[in-house]
Amino acid sequence: MTRRQDYRLTDAGAKAIAKQPTPTKVTRHGDGNNLYLIQHPNGSLFWQMTYRYQSDKDLKPKQKTYQIGIYKPAKQSIDSTFKPEVSLK
pLDDT digits (tens, 9 = 90+) for 35-54: 999 999 998 999 999 999 98
- Domains of the chain in start order, with CATH, are 11-72 (3.30.160.390)
Torsions phi, psi for 19 (to 5 deg):
-80, -15
pLDDT tens digits, 61-78:
899 999 999 988 888 888
pLDDT tens digits, 10-38:
888 888 888 888 899 999 988 888 899 99
For residues 53 and 47, give the distance between their C-alpha atoms in angstroms, rounded to a whole number: 20
Say what the pLDDT of residue 3 is. Answer: 57
For residues 25 and 48, give the distance between their C-alpha atoms in angstroms, rounded to a whole number: 17
pLDDT tens digits, 74-88:
888 888 888 888 887
